A = this chain, B = another copy of it.
Amino acid sequence: MGSATPRRRLPVTERTRHRRLREQGSLDRDQLDEILAAGFVCHLGVVVEGAPMVIPTVYGCDGNTLYFHGSVASRSLRASPDATVCVTVTHVDGLVLARSVFEHGVNYRSAMVHGTPRLVTDPDEKLAGLRCLTGHATPGQWDYARRPSRKELAATALLALSLGEASVKIRTGAPDDGGGEDARLGLWAGVLPLRATWGALEPDPALSEGIEAPAHLAKRVGAPAN
């Protein structure tokens, strides 16, 4: 790439080695960070009594750590505090419309993190982790809203997961059958992109008159969301 800062590589483990569709696999650590930064809802996989359970939940990232709420995994974590989890974050960018049904696909960016989460008990780390979680979905909101009371903090379980074992998959661009025999069929082919954008703010009907939305929220309206 020739840039001054070399891109960082992800380590390969038995779990993160790309087996299928290897051309979509990436070991670029910066891509991992970019995919995680672009989202705020992950799908958390846990094993409960031998069966998988996949739960959508919010997350935040700080350096090499991904934070999420412990409550969502409470059943699994109570049963087995050292249980492995899998956290997957996916951005769907569009439909890949090929000449043949077989070559149809999806443009996407996806990150998968494996590991055993750690329950955050240190009060300072817990506060910092919750700040990270809140700021990840809504930058500026931690400084604007009322921060957690001692009682609220105690009622919140926060989990920390290392980004040390992770993999990335990305597909971009046009269908792959433009150079093949099917290109002679005379069919249209291309991509139907999917866009996620923030809509107009909807004030709480209970809001008193004269309270304006703060700038850190107002400026997001209409902006791309991932």
Contacts and interface: CB of A to CB of B under 8 A. Distances in A.
Interface of A: 15, 19-20, 40-41, 43-48, 50-56, 58, 71-72, 74-75, 84-88, 90, 92, 94-95, 97-102, 104, 106, 108, 110, 112, 114, 130, 134, 137-138, 141-142, 144-149, 152, 156, 174-175, 178-179, 182-183, 185-208, 211-214, 217, 220-221, 225
How many copies of this chain sit in the oligomeric assembly? 2
13 contacts: A20-B72, A43-B43, A44-B54, A51-B84, A51-B86, A94-B199, A97-B141, A99-B145, A101-B145, A191-B204, A193-B200, A193-B202, A196-B196
Contact of A148 (B101, B175, B190): B101
Contacts of A84: 50-52
A191 B200 CA distance: 9
Main secondary structure of the interface of A (DSSP, over half): mixed
Contacts of A102: 146, 148-149, 152, 156
A5 B145 CA distance: 44
Contacts of A214: 188
Contacts of A94: 199, 202
Contacts of A196: 194-196
Contact of A88 (B56, B195, B208): B56
A51 B41 contact: no
Nearest to A207: B189
B192 A179 contact: no
Nearest to A43: B43
A142 B55 CA distance: 32
A169 to B, nearest CB: 8
Nearest to A138: B95
A75 B193 contact: no
B190 A71 contact: no
A56 to B, nearest CB: 4
A196 B90 CA distance: 14
